[in-house]
Structure 1
Amino acid sequence: MKILLMEDDPVLGEIIADYLQQYYNVERVFDSAQAQERIDTTHFDLLILDINVPGKSGIELLGQLRSFHDTTPALIITAYEDTAHLKQSFDAGAHDYIRKPFDLEELRLRIEKSCVLFHIEQERAVQIGEEMTYYPLTHQVVEGDHAHTLRPKEAEILEYFIAHPGRVIGNEELIQNLWRYEEMPSDATLRSYIRKIREVIGKERITTQRGMGYRYE
């Protein structure tokens, strides 16, 4: 699930983005011009828009998007407490509204409700041990409050190991399945990729079987 977060407060924006990155693919912008630019070039499953940002307000931006028949679900966040802004938000096309300060878990619950309401498909999460989760869509490995994004080829290799747990996989098998003939890497390059993956998920999860290959457990 890909979310666009528009929040101009640098501290609050970072707190929200860091929290949501544990569960979703989140892209953060600071104003309506940046938001419009990203919306024009990228598909988002959900928009989270602050009202009071530089340029067009979140309400104005949403109204403009709806005038161009953009139906992306939108959740408005704001420090305004009056009902006038609440009404304006819904009139502009928002499906939900949350006032600051809010609990981050409440925000996530509202996002989960949006997924059900608009039939947004959640990406499959893969558990790696008790405390670590891998998200194939975003190539992110998340452990506690820390998230690490793998490079595309690192993600491909990890996903191949995950699909074949407990089996010894040699260099030749990895290369034949994950590279085109004209792009085949050297054994040293492959070892470098696997070393990087081990640094993220732990050396004990991909063990070397001397003279044979690697085993993911």
Structure 2
Amino acid sequence: MKVLLMEDDPVLSDILLDYLNESWDVDYAYDSKEVYVKLESNKYGLFIFDINVAGKSGLELLRELREFNNTTPAIIITAYTDTKHLEEAFEAGAHDYIKKPFELPELKVRIQNTQKLFNIHTKNEIQITPDISFLPEEKTLLKNKIQISLSTKDSAILLYFVRNTQRVISNDELIQNLWDFDHLPSDATIRSHIRTLRELIGKGKISTLRGSGYIYE
């Protein structure tokens, strides 16, 4: 399931991203403007919005999305403890509400419960493009609803790129994280894997920085 988190506290957002990415594919937005940018090219199974963010609040954003007939389940995070904001959250279209400070496992349980209530696909499905999704556990791409099997190494490389978007990744980093010491690949082998992935997901998704490595966008 792909999750969109909106949280403008940099410390809390880092903690949540590290924790939640262990179980789901989580995108991050600092404010409502970034949420709309993400929604242009991604579909999400769940929203997690903080009320108190810069600019438009989480509740204002959720009301707006509901007016546009976006029915994605939503969990609201807030430091407010009063009943008034709880009522406003549900009136705005939230499906659950969690108060700060909270334990990370509590948020995980609430997400899992929301998945059950709405019968959301529980597999770690990652949207690569509007027409291509990636199921890392099954080592499979779904491209225009056609299933394409990936090799173990191609799947591992793609998952590593997805988890490290917009960052230069060198051959050495890939080798260090994805290969055993006894079976180190050549640069040509890595180029071959990258070429295969580009053919499957589009050449523009993985850019080459000559002499430095690759960037997944």
TM-score normalised per structure 1: 0.62
Q: Per the alignment, do residues 199 and 79 of structure 1 end up closer, same or farther by CA in structure 2, a change over 3 Å counting?
A: same
TM-aligned CA deviation for residue 158 of structure 1: 2.0
SS of residue paired to 1:52: coil
Match of 1:203 in 2: 180
Q: 1:158 aligns with which of 148, 152, 159?
A: 152
Deviation per CA, 1:53-83, whole angstroms, max 9, x where unpaired? 1111100100000011100000000001111
* Correspondences of 1:14-163 after superposition (within 5 Å): 14-123=14-123, 136=136, 156-158=150-152
1:67 and 1:89 map into 2 onto residues whose CA distance is 15
Q: Is the 8 A contact 1:198 1:205 kept in 2?
A: no
Q: Which runs of 5+ in 1 are unaligned?
A: 126-134, 140-154, 163-191, 209-217
**Which letter does structure 1 place at the counterpart of 2:7?**
E
SS of residue paired to 2:105: helix
Q: CA RMSD in A?
A: 3.1
Aligned residues: 154
TM-score normalised per structure 2: 0.62
Q: Is the 8 A contact 2:47 2:73 kept in 1?
A: yes
TM-aligned CA deviation for residue 204 of structure 1: 6.2
1:161 and 1:40 map into 2 onto residues whose CA distance is 26
1:39 and 1:207 map into 2 onto residues whose CA distance is 40
1:12 and 1:122 map into 2 onto residues whose CA distance is 25
2:121 and 2:136 map into 1 onto residues whose CA distance is 14
2:155 and 2:27 map into 1 onto residues whose CA distance is 29
1:5 and 1:78 map into 2 onto residues whose CA distance is 13
TM-aligned CA deviation for residue 32 of structure 1: 1.1
1:39 and 1:79 map into 2 onto residues whose CA distance is 26
Q: Which runs of 5+ in 2 are unaligned?
A: 126-134, 140-148, 157-169, 186-217
SS of residue paired to 2:28: strand
Q: Per the alignment, do residues 51 and 205 of structure 1 end up closer, same or farther by CA in structure 2, a change over 3 Å counting?
A: farther
Q: Per the alignment, do residues 84 and 26 of structure 1 end up closer, same or farther by CA in structure 2, a change over 3 Å counting?
A: same
SS of residue paired to 2:69: coil
SS of residue paired to 2:94: coil
TM-aligned CA deviation for residue 201 of structure 1: 3.7
Deviation per CA, 1:89-142, whole angstroms, max 9, x where unpaired? 0001000000000000110111111111111112269xxxxxxxxx617x8xxx
Q: Is the 8 A contact 2:5 2:29 kept in 1?
A: yes
